[in-house]
Structure 1
Amino acid sequence: MTSSPLTGQERDAAIAALLVGAVDLHCHSGPAVMPRILDHHDQLQEAAAAGFRAVVTKDHFYLGTPHAIILETLFPDLGTRMFSGIALNNASGGINPHAVDHAVKLGARIVWMPTLSAANHIAKMATEAKGFPKVAGALDPIPLTVLDANGRLTDDTLKVLDLVAAADVILAGGHLSAQELIVLFEEGQRRGLKKMMVNHPTYVIGCTDDDIRTLVSFGARMEHSICQFIPGRAKKFEPDYALHLIEVAGTKNTLFGSDLGLQGSARPIDGYQTFVGQMLDLGVAPDDITTMIARNGAEMLNLDGPVSSSEIGA
């Protein structure tokens, strides 16, 4: 996985080349009730300027797919696709099959399980996630879980799994706990889901290395958040910890989404530039970086085949 470190202009050129064809599956652009440093239009323009193949905008409270469709229609010459999906928080009716059915029929590419409304997230707010941004004056969340009192998946959760499988879109774990995700994704595999993804498995979710290996065995990919490795308010880990996480899951099962857009952190494209530079400095091979920031995301979004070397400038 290692390659020789680069310096100066060679390093800058290598970073720029690696971003051509990249796919960001996790950008928090606005408008949003949580303050953001850029809107969806900004994100699309900046990603296009860097040569990204696609971006996904994520809001914790609303389906962003109509915004993405309109922006693609208004700016077809940018050459970067924009997608979105729905997070199954209280604002969407919780784990709501009707909301999912509508979302996938409209073109949503990701269904996120509860994030800010997840019982696990709410419990972690007092400890691990105590600095997580909040919406001022918001109603108190109603805790959500995919499990019933007997530890089995709820009927609505099973309906959501079937809808996602039929649409062949991504099921993302949101902020459910590792224990919930193991039950959820094992059943997802049984029901034919082809695209399952764990969001920031080592933050809030609580995945151990063994949990990651178990989830990968069900066909899930690990999506780590770039914001947690680069300077800014969301930094949680030193860059070399990413090497360990890549080794645990394997490059084919690892993605890096920006998870950027929040105040006090870098803009998404700047974040990718910093992170890719870190990976190059740590000796990660350019082709492995491409797999984790471009090829894997393109496959998850059902884009037309894997990213080729001619597309990424390798």
Structure 2
Amino acid sequence: MRPGMELLVGAVDNHVHACPHINARNLTVLDAVRDAAAAGMRAIGLMDNFCNSAGYAALAMRELGHLGVEVFGGLIMEPPAGGVSTEAVRVALGYGYGEGARFVSLPTHHTRNIALMERRGPAYVESCLAIPDSGPLPDPLPEILDLIAAHDVVFNTGHVSGPEAVRAVEAAKAAGVTRILVPCSHYDAATVAAVTALGACAEFSFFFLSHATQVGLTHVDSEAHTVPAVSLPEMAALIRAAGPERTILSGDCGVAVLPPPIEGFREFLLMIASAGFDRDALRRMSADNAAALFRVGA
């Protein structure tokens, strides 16, 4: 048994990119479920930039549910998946064999924040989601937040900027959303503290510590881009700003240049442990918090 495999028993990785893609994957959805079951994991969440992954999750549960791993999916509101659209969200919430999406995410690549980071052209930047500093959120976000609140699913703030994430969390809370996840790997400690003080969970992913940050990858179109890496001490400081009680650790693995999700998650948990987090904190951040947020076992 490789060191750290025991950390995967009962774990929940809510960020697995095993779905079909325009760049190479290192496994299929069904492979990911089988691997998670062999490691004793409790659940995995499927992420997809091109469609609502609740359909893949429903099929995986229908075919491999007997293995004991709960599989859930949701919608990232990227243009290929329908964009920031009320109708796309309605479909996602009901799509499956009795259960639909468990999360709805703001775009991850078609945000003004990422478009500027990737040095996209003016027309592309203008087409991307931006949340204003003040005033109402752009339509149809208010209606989408109402749908998320009514269905009691997770609102993921996607890859907006830190100030935009704070505004999005405030708006979601005002709309009655109670389950909120904020990817925080590239934020500063003050932003992390602000979103968690509002009741959101902060997500930190292995991808941003990994060598994949050095490789130009194609995510949503023909352009390949890198993403800034985060050092282990930097990420550990951000986790401490959130506190283990509001932190969710995830793998964000599936791309071919990374190890398969269970291996990436194992390596990640060992790295976080080496930064001074004890087993109780690791269990909370890698299993308990995500299980509660995504209603695993409910």
Alignment TM class, shorter chain as reference: 0.7 to 0.9
1:229 aligns with 2:227: no
Partner residue in 2 for 1:238: 231
CA 1:214/1:282 → structure 2, altered by over 3 Å: closer, same or farther? closer
3-state secondary structure, aligned to 1:162: helix
The two structures, once aligned, show a CA RMSD in angstroms of 2.2
3-state secondary structure, aligned to 2:72: strand
3-state secondary structure, aligned to 1:233: helix
1:175 aligns with 2:159: yes
Question: Which residue identity lines up with residue 212 of structure 2 in the other structure?
Answer: R
* Matched-pair contact (CA < 8 Å) for 1:234–1:265: no
Partner residue in 2 for 1:4: none
> What number of residue pairs does the alignment pair up?
278
Which of 91, 97, 107 matches 1:102? Answer: 91
**CA distances 1:128-149 after superposition (whole Å, capped 9, x unpaired):** xxxxxxxxxxxx6873225369
1:212 aligns with 2:192: yes
Question: Which residue identity lines up with residue 244 of structure 2 in the other structure?
Answer: T
3-state secondary structure, aligned to 2:51: coil
* Matched-pair contact (CA < 8 Å) for 2:7–2:266: no
* Matched-pair contact (CA < 8 Å) for 1:122–1:143: no
Partner residue in 1 for 2:34: 45
CA 1:258/1:51 → structure 2, altered by over 3 Å: closer, same or farther? same
| CA-CA distance at 1:21 after TM superposition | 0.8
**CA distances 1:164-184 after superposition (whole Å, capped 9, x unpaired):** 111111111111111221111
Counterparts of 1:143 and 1:27, CA distance in 2 = 27
Counterparts of 2:209 and 2:139, CA distance in 1 = 38
Counterparts of 1:149 and 1:166, CA distance in 2 = 26
| CA-CA distance at 1:150 after TM superposition | 6.4
| CA-CA distance at 1:94 after TM superposition | 2.0
Question: Which residue identity lines up with residue 170 of structure 2 in the other structure?
Answer: E
Partner residue in 2 for 1:117: 110
Partner residue in 2 for 1:164: 148
TM-score, normalised relative to structure 2: 0.87
Partner residue in 1 for 2:47: 58
Percent sequence identity over aligned pairs: 28
Counterparts of 1:217 and 1:121, CA distance in 2 = 25
* Matched-pair contact (CA < 8 Å) for 1:61–1:89: yes
Partner residue in 1 for 2:226: none
| CA-CA distance at 1:112 after TM superposition | 0.9
Which of 178, 202, 207 matches 2:185? Answer: 202
**Unaligned residue ranges in structure 2 (runs of 5+):** 215-228
Which of 76, 83, 103 matches 2:65? Answer: 76
TM-score, normalised relative to structure 1: 0.82
Which of 254, 257, 263 matches 1:261? Answer: 254
